Amino acid sequence: MATTDNRAASREKVRAHRDRLRAQGMRPIQLWVPDVRAATFKAQALAQSRAVAASPHAADDQAFIDALSEWTDA
């Protein structure tokens, strides 16, 4: 029965936490993002990287990325 009590206590803590956040004007959302650990993601990233590197515009594309990386909003 301890497991049931622990689950009930945990659910109550989560409910109270969510109630506090809602009282602050927050609302829950759910985000789905790519699983970067998946083999399909790795394969697609590699394929895209190779395609960019093989592009006749690779140097210009890299210059653009470098410029963005160095940009500061100061």
Please give the share of the chain, as a percent, with pLDDT higher than 70.
Answer: 95
CA distances from 12 to 15, 24, 63 (A): 5, 19, 53
Domain boundaries, given as residue ranges, for the chain:
1-30, 32-74
Write down the pLDDT at residue 47.
97
CB 35 within 8 A of CB 26: no
Comparing 23 with 4, which gets the higher pLDDT? 23
Model-level pTM? 0.49
Please give the average per-residue pLDDT across 26-40, as a whole number. 95
Per-residue pLDDT of 40-63, as tens digits, reads 999 999 999 999 999 999 999 899
Backbone φ/ψ region at 42: left (φ over 0), alpha (ψ -120 to 50), beta: alpha
